Amino acid sequence: WRSPRSAAKVRAAPAVREFAERLRLGETALHQELESAFHLVMAESVRNSMCGSCRALCMFPPASLPWEVPDDDCNFEDLEAPLAVVAQRLFNDQRRREQATARRSSELSAGDADCCGGFSSQLQRTAMTAAFIIDFAHEVGVDLPPMPESLHALLRDFAAKAAESGTGQAPCRQSDTGSAAAETDGNSVGYYWLTGSFLWPWASESDPPSPSPPLPEADRERAAGG
């Protein structure tokens, strides 16, 4: 007798072996999908790192702004703006996602079969799928792409701006700051990248971080299905 999970693994094994071999052989279409997935996960990772830094500075949201920032202004990648404005835009983006998720839950509770899920749930599903693709490639030993230079520059420049603002500032209480890792749950490699928590120590370095952070032994066994 096999459990449903074990039976599913047996049924999936041929497809897993096929896709693993195609990845190892360098099939162009699959590697293009891998690059797209990695870029998406890195973009979410950088965003979540930026949110975590703003929380650490008690600026999520900021207490004051140099000018009014509309609720629908989510252009947090514009680092020409003051840090408080960037933090408010990050907060707006996070609130937009949460509101979209709440609407999705309400529509599902009401039995609306036509609801499309909204921006946030679509992005979350896409990001989780991308994280799974990265996990799969990592586990079968395929080299992952480097971190896109545009994202590395965004992280580096934001880190410099945040460090300058935080000089001499008392740290927030833990209950105030939250954590970048709280954005996404999970123990796999893809989830680890998605949280952005491993990126911050490298934010001021000249080279992007390695795309292969080590996993604890228990997590490696879980990711391998052990």
CA 33/CA 216 separation, integer angstroms: 27
CA 102/CA 165 separation, integer angstroms: 33
| Average pLDDT of the chain, as a whole number | 78
CA 176/CA 57 separation, integer angstroms: 9
Residue-level pLDDT at 112: 55
Structure tokens at 130: 């991308």
CA 103 vs. chain centroid, Å, equals: 22
Residues 84-126: pLDDT tens digits? 999 999 999 999 988 888 877 777 776 654 554 455 567 888 8
Question: Of 76, 80, 70, 71, which is closest to residue 54 (Cα–Cα)?
Answer: 76
DSSP SS3 for 75: coil
Q: With left for phi above 0 and alpha for psi between -120 and 50, is residue 42 left, alpha or beta?
A: alpha
CA count, 13 A, side-chain hemisphere, 165: 20
pTM over cut 0.85: no
CA 226/CA 219 separation, integer angstroms: 10
How many helices and strands, by DSSP H and E, does the chain display? 8, 0
- Let me know: does 116 contact 89? Beta carbons within 8 Å: no
- Let me know: does 127 contact 40? Beta carbons within 8 Å: yes
Higher local confidence (pLDDT), 93 or 214: 93
CA 31/CA 137 separation, integer angstroms: 10
**Composition of the chain by helix, strand, coil, percent to 5:** 65, 0, 35
What Cα–Cα distance (Å) separates residue 205 from each residue in 76, 152, 157? 21, 9, 11
Residues 50-80: pLDDT tens digits? 999 999 999 999 999 999 999 999 999 999 9
- Let me know: does 34 contact 133? Beta carbons within 8 Å: yes
Residue 189 predicted with pLDDT over 60: no
